[in-house]
Amino acid sequence: MDLRPELLPPPVSRRRLQELSGEIDRIADLVADRPEAAEEAIRSFNDATGHEYLALDFAGYGGSRDVEEFAREAARPARPRVADITRAELAEIVRRVRAAGPDGAYYLRLLEVNVVHPRVGDLLFHPSDELQDASAEEVVEAGMRYRPIAL
C-alpha cells in the first residue's frame, strides 16, 4: 500500500545531517567532560529540533545507533500526528516497522503518536501470546482497543 505524503518520513538533506551530527558529537563530548555545560547545549538542541532529548541520549547513542541515525531522527518531527489517519494506513505503518528498513524508527514514532495505546511498540516487539503471530491489522486493532483508565 502506498502511504500519502504526510505519512512518509520527511527527507533530510546531507548538509542538515552533517550539522546535527556535529552538534550531537559535541554534546556527547560535553556530557562526558563538562556535564554542567552539556545541560545548556541539550536545551538549545531540543529547542532547535522540537525533541526532548536527555543527557543519556547523547552519552549512550553509540550503543544502539550511529550518529547519522540520531541526526536523522532529530531532524524529523518529534511528534508526527496525523489527525485523519486510517486503520489501513496504521496497518501499513506496522508492516513498515516490522520490515526494519532505514526509516523503521520514524514509522515506529508515527505509530506511537497516532495510536492511543501507551506501549504500542510492545505489541510488536514484545507481544502477548494472543498477538504472537498477529497480522498488522490485528496489532492495530489491539492498539486501538486500548482505553485509558479515568482517575
Task: Tell me, yes or no, whether 33 lies in a domain.
Answer: yes
Same domain membership, residue 91 and residue 51: no
Domain end residue (candidates: 26, 50, 75)? 75
Distances (CA, A) of 138 to 19, 94, 124, 144, 145: 41, 10, 11, 10, 10
pLDDT for the residue 102: 86
Domain end residue (candidates: 26, 49, 75)? 75
Answer whether residue 55 shows pLDDT above 80. yes
DSSP letters of 67-136?
Answer: HHHHHHHHHS-SS---TT--HHHHHHHHHHHHHT-TTHHHHHHHHHHHS--TTHHHHHHS--GGGTT--H
> What domain range includes position 48?
14-75
Give the predicted TM-score (pTM) of the model. 0.85
The average pLDDT across 27-47 equals: 95
Same domain membership, residue 91 and residue 64: no
pLDDT, tens digit, 9 for 90 and up, residues 81-139: 999 999 999 999 999 999 988 899 999 999 999 999 999 999 999 999 999 999 999 99
